[in-house]
Structure 1
């Protein structure tokens, strides 16, 4: 389908594209009642159930078991398969995935759910068939790679893509069964390209999938994973579902993009500060969303946000469990009415890789190889320090990767002093933080709370201030900054209340 046909088709639709996160998906009753069966108005149209495309994530915990645990690094099927252990522990982990999926199916369609044996049978058969095919494929790949002409490393990225597809296919298939049971004309849009020969490109796959869908009478339920020539996992890793969501919105010309999460986008993490002290954020912009994403508190993946921003599609982050709340509207041009701090965010797990070498003074190319090392290590760089004789990267990633990076950096720079330290990062973020004395206020808040500041970063655009502190001071630092800059800031309180 040409771009002109796509544009003409979408112009008449006035539809939304909505993504449902994994934790929300696991609370299927809330999703059913608060989202799918709840009429919504898109772009001023009469409220209805259709004119909405839903991109679904895997149920909570499934992708961790398929790949590896996102936070703890506990190996899943993929990580165990990559080790090529002769005991084949990946097979046992695959059985654990099957048990997880079967338990979810039973909760939805069994006696505790809608109590429909036929739908339960269909759901379990779908899981059994896909997992059996995956097991066969991996076993055959093991045999192929036992020959010297074939190396497992050449195929691992494809294995990761294939395993990722399972979780989203499972949740999308279940959702369609559930919706049809409740009288909704739901349609499964399976972008996993399962057992299909031709490998389309990303955009072509999405265009073809939506070519014959009538949004006025069909509710598409789309897998968050899209199999394509580019390889989403290789480029975006665990952010692939948001890329699918964003690209569908841009290619179909959606009026609105919505992300349904299990919490509000708030002034801080309620688990750290306290639910009674945080407030939902009514409005913000894509710049703030990017800063949050760099800390791992994603409203949306930065690359996914880019397409929405360029096409000026409004993005709304909504709480699945509070359907009456308007949520947070993220636009391209929003700026706070008064300069203020909107959010206190951070991460308790940051690795500081510091390289000190007095011979680097005046050598503009000295750190180039270190930049390449960090990039190849797969670590996410949050920020960076450079002075006359020291380069420090502050990164997110697992301990195994940082140890490998430390070893390689020490080998590459034998005359340098290279060390690693685990820290925490706390950041004050806002669409306009040009407040005189703000840095002094923030530093004083941390000092009064007994937190020692190890490093400070503030760009000239003044949309964020980053503080590096000891790992054990993370919670105290977040609480101190939120208390001083948000809770006890009159402008912030007034604006949040009006929002």
Structure 2
């Protein structure tokens, strides 16, 4: 014999009930079944609401009652042929009339006792089970109905009655010993006291009913049919990558259930656990899915961690003081206080010194617990031996669960390391000697990040998910997105990195998708987005609080560069090609670097110098290995190099600068390049990364541009000024020709001094043959004395800059 239980979502309406009937009919072809059903979805909540409104004198309870009646009559009419509906509709209406009488009584008396509440709540299961039993008879004549109240007996503890198993088991076995029906349908959740008064079995009561029946009859299996494919490695609503668990032990299932896995409730397992009856959790809407098999069978060669679960709305209460050390009975007094207030303790941890004890309870019990504890210890508190209890609300308990965790070293370390890397602060820890459960209390705001990070570590084959928030989608931004889209599959398969773009923003629009933006249609999605708002963008990134978040700045905007501090403080990495932050005041530069270290949030800016060239990374490795930089010589502007490589008697300075802009080699405002400010920023960043302290105003900028050109206020007037001063630029060019030299804009640092300016480069210099938009850097160090370390390559352009940003993102992924 097999026991099947169908939850509220499985019997929510006639459409779903038809699926249930199909499952029952197929299974009944091979064995006898007992089918336990819950109330229709949300009906129990409606009954509770109606009873409370009635007791409060609110006549709107009648509208709720009418809705309950409509739902059940509609289902019956759709499930039963018209020719057979009359008597059944009359029976349902009689039940509804009885319910109405009870609600009217609550309204007239203005009260709702626990006993009355139990009776009212029982109507959900009574109605659903009757309708389903009658519908089943249409296809399966050899089926029947049994009222659970007749065979499950309890005490009079209304709301959560205690089952009298001695009497209950006898009644169950006696009834089914003589019952010849192939299928018997029963209501879950409800029972009756020994004197025949309606009682309920509390939270998860329908599951409990099924388990009681299965245990009493030594059923071959208990099947729990719900709306998901079994128990999951984590809550799939929070962790999108969560997977169904194929096999799990009773103990693991109880742990996960206790910590919020709502597919199953811990009391459900007790009656079948004693009899070693397996439990199978199945999906009514995907009956072909494997589901989760719960038993005491040992599973070898499986992941020692079976699941990650959590409980929300937790308050942590800490009682501490020297008056607890060596004093027997302190813990006993604490728990007695809570017991008298009927407060359930979910989490306990105590320092070995006995100086403090910490407990976790529900937020709803926090005020009562605080008042009661302080009152119980008021003498010790008045003598300053014990402090007023410390109350911390809005927390969450996360738990790593697995039967075989005790046999695997380092799981606790991996758990806490993962949380630490993601800047998830742990308020308290509890771990039993069996290591079946490792629990930690964290802030509620971090639960999504924590669960996803832990799931990634223990279940996702070391695939690391990176969540990108991209600000700036101009030329470089477009190339960056193209490169991500092109390489996404390669990164996942070969580097175990899953890159998702969560947000995009330009100067006009911004668009967010927590599940990842489709990179095939990002342009359209961005156009449909909301108006760009820098503050709202920052706030949304923080509120999403995703693991491995990376803010990618592909702008040249000063106000955007001033937001990095906000991101780093929230453990959000920053990748930027915007040079302004690293070339700002030295104190700000150092602060950003320190924040990066303090909050374990990478701050990478390889493209600040040399676009995609590995200049900064190489410099970092030199310094880290103990080398010391004494001198730097460099051509650091790909745009200026392009300009002076193409400027000649055939191509005017104006035309070449225009073409550099078209090619994407200059900043949106070309004066930034031509004034030398951009180069000065770059050499300043290299100087600072070399370990020297320097400010921007300490760099000598020998500008070759006429002041009138630099004083223009728009690109249009700027280019007009280039035409006006054409003779000035031609004179510079002719001087270079006369000296048999080439023009290069050079940055230099030596003996603590730095300068940038246009130089005449002779033929024997390494810079002479620097072509196109290439950059070149010479590092003279302790190790590279006579022959400097030389880095050379394309230093401008959307594609190479985007690849440099991409490389920084990959560095974070590989960290």
CA contact (8 A) 2:226 2:263 kept: no
Instruction: Give the aligned partner of residue 255 of structure 1.
Output: 220
- Counterparts of 1:247 and 1:488, CA distance in 2: 40
SS of the residue corresponding to residue 237 of structure 1 reads coil
User: What are the within-5 Å matches in structure 2 for residues 274-353 of structure 1?
Assistant: 274=240, 277-338=241-302, 340-353=304-317
Q: CA deviation at 1:17?
A: 0.9
- Counterparts of 2:195 and 2:220, CA distance in 1: 27
- Counterparts of 2:20 and 2:208, CA distance in 1: 24
- Counterparts of 1:35 and 1:443, CA distance in 2: 47
Deviation string, structure 1 residues 369-405 (Cα, Å, up to 9, x no partner): 3212323434432220122222221123x62x33222
Pick the aligned partner of 2:102 from 126, 134, 138: 134
Cα 1:365/1:229, change in 2 over 3 Å: farther
Pick the aligned partner of 1:57 from 17, 34, 38: 38
- The question of 1:423 aligning with 2:423 is answered no
Q: CA deviation at 1:347?
A: 2.0
Deviation string, structure 1 residues 212-252 (Cα, Å, up to 9, x no partner): 55665342111111122499998952233232211111112
Deviation string, structure 1 residues 167-189 (Cα, Å, up to 9, x no partner): 11121112122222344443221
Instruction: Give the aligned partner of residue 355 of structure 1.
Output: 319
- The question of 1:473 aligning with 2:446 is answered yes
Instruction: Give the aligned partner of residue 460 of structure 1.
Output: 433
Q: CA RMSD in A?
A: 3.3
Instruction: Give the aligned partner of residue 105 of structure 1.
Output: 72
Instruction: Give the aligned partner of residue 747 of structure 2.
Output: none
SS of the residue corresponding to residue 417 of structure 2 reads helix
Instruction: Give the aligned partner of residue 242 of structure 1.
Output: 207
- Which is higher, the Rg of structure 1 or of structure 2? 2
Q: CA deviation at 1:287?
A: 0.5
Deviation string, structure 1 residues 36-86 (Cα, Å, up to 9, x no partner): 445556xxxxx617511011111221222333xxxxxxxx345567xx64x
SS of the residue corresponding to residue 244 of structure 2 reads coil
Cα 1:100/1:478, change in 2 over 3 Å: farther
Pick the aligned partner of 1:173 from 106, 110, 130: 130
User: What are the within-5 Å matches in structure 2 for residues 209-248 of structure 1?
Assistant: 211-213=174-176, 217-224=181-188, 225-229=190-194, 237-248=202-213
Cα 1:176/1:109, change in 2 over 3 Å: same
- Counterparts of 1:232 and 1:17, CA distance in 2: 26
Cα 1:114/1:426, change in 2 over 3 Å: same
Q: CA deviation at 1:315?
A: 0.9
Pick the aligned partner of 1:160 from 117, 138, 152: 117
- Counterparts of 1:22 and 1:336, CA distance in 2: 35
SS of the residue corresponding to residue 349 of structure 2 reads strand
Q: CA deviation at 1:473?
A: 0.6
TM-score w.r.t. length of structure 2: 0.49
SS of the residue corresponding to residue 272 of structure 1 reads coil
Instruction: Give the aligned partner of residue 359 of structure 2.
Output: 393
Instruction: Give the aligned partner of residue 22 of structure 1.
Output: 8
User: What are the within-5 Å matches in structure 2 for residues 373-452 of structure 1?
Assistant: 373-387=337-351, 388-396=354-362, 399=364, 401-414=365-378, 415=381, 416-421=387-392, 422-433=394-405, 434-452=407-425
CA contact (8 A) 1:31 1:320 kept: no
- Counterparts of 2:198 and 2:333, CA distance in 1: 26
Q: CA deviation at 1:468?
A: 1.1
CA contact (8 A) 2:10 2:17 kept: yes
- Counterparts of 1:48 and 1:451, CA distance in 2: 53
Gaps of 5+ in 2: 157-162, 382-386, 464-815
Deviation string, structure 1 residues 310-343 (Cα, Å, up to 9, x no partner): 1111111111111112311111233442452121
Q: CA deviation at 1:479?
A: 0.6
Instruction: Give the aligned partner of residue 4 of structure 1.
Output: none
CA contact (8 A) 1:202 1:226 kept: no
Q: CA deviation at 1:452?
A: 1.4
- Counterparts of 2:144 and 2:313, CA distance in 1: 41
Deviation string, structure 1 residues 241-268 (Cα, Å, up to 9, x no partner): 2322111111122111111111121111
Higher relative contact order (CA 8 A, sep 6+): 1
CA contact (8 A) 1:201 1:230 kept: no
- Counterparts of 1:262 and 1:135, CA distance in 2: 32
- Counterparts of 1:377 and 1:65, CA distance in 2: 28
Gaps of 5+ in 1: 1-14, 42-46, 68-75, 144-151, 491-499
Pick the aligned partner of 1:485 from 443, 454, 458: 458
- Counterparts of 2:63 and 2:376, CA distance in 1: 42
Cα 1:257/1:327, change in 2 over 3 Å: same
Q: CA deviation at 1:30?
A: 3.5
